[in-house]
Amino acid sequence: MDSEDIELKKLELMARNIRRIVLNLGLAAKQNGSHIGPGLSIVEIMAILYGRILKFDSNNPYWEERDRFILSKGHGALGYYAALAESKIISDKDINSFDVNGGLFPSQPILLPSKGIESASGSLGIGLSFAIGIAIAIKKRGLSSRVFVLMGDGECNEGTVWESAMSCSHFKLDNIVTIIDHNKMQSDGICVKILDMKDIVLKWQSFGFNVISVDGHNIQELWQTFESILNMRNGKPSVIIANTIKGKGVSFMENNPLWHHNYLTQNDYNKAIEECFGNK
Amino acid sequence: MMINKIQIKTWAKLGHRGTLGTSLLELASNLENLMVLTADLSTTSGLTRFEQTYPDKFLNMGIAEQNMVGVAAGLAKEGYITFTTTFATFATMRSCEQIRNYLGYMEFNVKIVGMASGFSMGMFGNTHYAIEDIALMRSIPNITIISPSDCFEVNKSIFAVALLKGPVYLRLSGTMNTPIIYQDDYEFEVGRSIILRGGDDVVIIACGTMVSVSLSAAKILESVGISAAVINMHTIKPIDKQAIASACESSRLLVTVEEHNIIGGLGSAVAEYKSTLKNTPPQLFIGIPDTFCKPGDYQYLLNHFGLTPESIAQKIQEHIH
C-alpha cells in the first residue's frame, strides 16, 4: 500500500470510530433523545476534516494559526463531539459528560474555546455570518488560517443563510469553505416537500461560490474535493455540497424522519452496532 | 481631542448621528483594532469621512442587519472592537436573535449603535420608530444599555464603551440641533447616574432626549413652588441602584421619563429595583403609553404623548400630594 492508501485506511477507521461514538452518545442520552440522524450523516465529513484537513494543535486550542471550524448545524453535535474526541481535543471524561445536567456538552454545543469549540450552535442559519467576521479578521491579521462551516440543507431555508452567502462572495472570502450536509431531510421530513429550494448547486453558484458536489460518505472523494478547493484560492468562497444520507449506516434510521431526534433503546443500539460493525 | 465650547456646540448642531461619525473617527486614531460596520447607512451614521479615512476599518454590509451582527461577532471573536450602526428599530428587532446569541449568550465584544431611536424618524412612521428597543435589549442577559442625554455624552459614551469589555447597546435619539446638557467637561462612568439638579419634593429620573425636557419641566415646577431633582440615568443596564435608593429616601414622588414604551424601559428598570425597597414613594411613569400612533414630525409626536416640559410639569403637579 502506498502512503495515500494507508492514510485513507486511517481516515476510514476514524470514521468508523466516530460513527460508534455517535451511537454511544445516542444511547447515553437515554430518554432525552438526541439528534442521531443528523449526527450520522456528517460522520465522514467530520472524519476528513478532523483527520486530515483542519490545522489544529490538540494541546493548544488557542493556537493562532489554527483553522476555525464552525458547526452551523448544531444538530450535528453528536458527530462533532465524536470527532473532537477522536482527535483528542476533548477527553474521554468530556465525551462521557454528554447531556449531563449542567455539563459542558449538551445536545447543542456551547461556546467552549478551551475545548476547541469556537461557537455555540443551535439557532440555524447564523453560522456563516459569524464565520465571515472570523475570515475577515484572519485576513486582516495576516494569518494563514481558514474557516470551515458545516451547514445543513434544511438550514438553507433560513433567509440569513443567503444574506451571509452574498456577503461572503462580496468580500471575496476565499478562506472560507462551507460544507452543506445535503441529506435531503429536515425535521418534518423530506426537504423538497417541506420547502423546495430547487437547484441548490445553481443557487450557490449564482451567489458567487465555487461549488463542488460530492458523495459525502466517500472519504476519498471528500479528500480530493477539499484538496482541490483549498488549492483554488481564486477570490471566491467555496461550498461543498456533500450528498449524504440521514441516519447513514443504520437501516432503520436511514432517511427516516423519526430519527431526526429520537432515543435509542439498548435493543436499537445493539442492532445499530451490529449493522455498522458486525459483531466487533 | 480638546473639549471646548465650540466643539460641544458643533456636536449639538450635528445631533447624535453626526456626533457618532465624528466620534468614531476620533476613536479610530486611538484604537488600532477598531472595526465599524453599517447596514447601508454610512452617510446617515455620519461615517462618510470615516469611510474615506479608514477604509480598512470600515465595512458596509448592505441592508442585511442580521448578517451584520453575526459578522461583527466573528470580528470581535478575533480581537476586534466592533461597532455596528443602523436605525435602532432594525438594530434591535431584525437582528434581535443574533444579538441575543452572539452578544448576550456568547458575550462577544460588539457595540450595537441604534440610531434615531424613539420618534426621531418623524414622518417615516411607526416602522421606523424604536419604542421597544430598551425593553428588548434589557431582557437579554449581559448587555449594557446606554442612552446618552446630549451629543457630548454620545461622544463620551462611545469612548467609554470602546474600553468596556463586553457587549453594549448604545441608544441614540433626538434630531439635529439637540439641546446641550453639558457645557463643560465632566466625568462619565458607565453605570453611574448623574444628578443634574437637586430637589426635595420630586425626583425625576430620565434618559436620552428626556433629560433636557425634564430639566425644563423642573424649572416650571420650581416656579409653582415644587422642588424637583433631575437625574440623568444614562446607563439603563446595569441600573444605578444606589441612585434609585437615595431618590426614594429623599422624595415624595418618583418620576421616570423616557421616549420609549412605558413597558420594559427605564421606568420598568427603576420600578423593578424600587419594588424591593421598603417605604418608597409612588412612581409616575411618563413615556409612550403602550400604543402606536399616527405619524407626524418629531415635535408633533412628543406633543402628542406629552413628552414636553409643560405636560410633564402638569402631570407631576397632578400626582404630587
- The CATH 3.40.50.920 portion of chain B extends over 194-319
**Contact check, Cβ <8 Å, A167/B62:** yes
Give the N- to C-terminal CA distance of chain B in Å, as an integer: 48
Three-state DSSP class for B164?
Answer: coil
Query: Could B78 and A133 be called an inter-chain contact, meaning their C-beta atoms sit closer than 8 Å?
Result: yes
CA distance A117 to chain B (A): 12
pLDDT one-digit tens code per residue, B231-285: 999 999 999 999 999 999 989 999 999 999 999 999 999 999 999 999 999 999 9
- What pLDDT is attached to residue A279? 63
User: Is B65 annotated in the active site?
Assistant: yes
Q: Which of A118, A121, A163 to mutate to test the interface with B (most CBs of B within 10 A)?
A: A163
Query: Of B124, B72, B117, nearest to B98 (Cα)?
Result: B72
| pLDDT values of chain A reduced to their tens digit, one per residue, 280 residues | 789 999 999 999 999 999 999 999 999 999 999 999 999 999 999 999 999 999 999 999 999 999 999 999 999 999 999 999 999 999 999 999 999 999 999 999 999 999 999 999 999 999 999 999 999 999 999 999 999 999 999 999 999 999 999 999 999 999 999 999 999 999 999 999 999 999 999 999 999 999 999 999 999 999 999 999 999 989 999 999 999 999 999 999 999 999 999 999 999 999 999 999 986 5
Instruction: Tell me if B89 sits within 8 A of B65, measured CB to CB.
Output: no
> Position of cell 420547502?
A195
Query: For residue A223, what is its C-alpha cell?
Result: 479528500
With CA atoms as reference, the chain B residue closest to A167 would be B61
B276/B311 Cα distance (integer angstroms): 30
Query: Do the beta carbons of residue B44 and residue A149 sit within 8 Å?
Result: no
Identify which of B61, B73, B105 has the shortest CB distance to residue A130: B73
Check residue B94 and give its pLDDT: 98
- Across the interface, do B67 and A129 touch by the CB < 8 Å criterion? yes
How many Cβ atoms are within 10 Å of A258's Cβ, its own excluded? 10
- How far is the alpha carbon of B137 from chain A, nearest alpha carbon, in Å? 19
A-interface mutation test, from B61, B67, B82, B97, most A Cβ less than 10 A away: B67
Chain A, nearest residue to B106 by Cα: A111
State pTM to two decimals: 0.97
- What pLDDT does A252 receive? 97
Q: Which residue type is seen at B127?
A: T
Task: List pLDDT tens digits, range B139-168.
Answer: 999 999 999 999 999 999 999 999 999 999
Q: Give the residue ranges of DSSP H helices in A50-153.
A: 77-86, 92-96, 127-140
**CATH class belonging to A3-277:** alpha beta
Query: B172 vs chain A: nearest CA distance in angstroms?
Result: 25
Look up residue A255 and give its amino acid.
N
Q: What is the per-residue pLDDT across B189-202, written as a single tens digit (0 to 9) for each?
A: 999 999 999 999 99
Task: Give the pLDDT confidence score for residue A40 in this predicted structure.
Answer: 97
Fold of B5-173: Rossmann fold (3.40.50)
* Cross-chain residue pair B75–A118, CB shorter than 8 Å: no
**What is the grid cell recorded at B266?**
427605564
Q: Running DSSP on this structure, what letter comes out for residue B180?
A: P
Query: Residues in chain A whose beta carbon is closer than 8 A to a beta carbon of chain B?
Result: 111, 118-120, 123, 126-138, 140-141, 160, 163-164, 166-167, 170-171
- Distance CA(B237)–CA(B223), nearest Å, equals 34
Which member of A118, A120, A130 has the closest CB to residue B70?
A130
Q: How do residues A162-213 score in pLDDT, each as one tens digit? A: 999 999 999 999 999 999 999 999 999 999 999 999 999 999 999 999 999 9
Residue range B69-127, pLDDT digits in tens? 999 999 999 999 999 999 999 999 999 999 999 999 999 999 999 999 999 999 999 99
CATH number for the domain whose boundaries are B194-319? 3.40.50.920
Q: Residues of CATH 3.40.50.970 domain(s) within chain B?
A: 5-173
Contacts of B74 in chain A (CB under 8 A): 129-137
**Chain B, window 106-165: residues with a beta carbon less than 8 angstroms from a chain A beta carbon:** 106
Domain boundaries, chain A: 3-277
**Strand B194-197 and strand B58-60: pairing?**
unpaired
Q: Which residues of B touch A123 (CB under 8 A)?
A: 97, 101
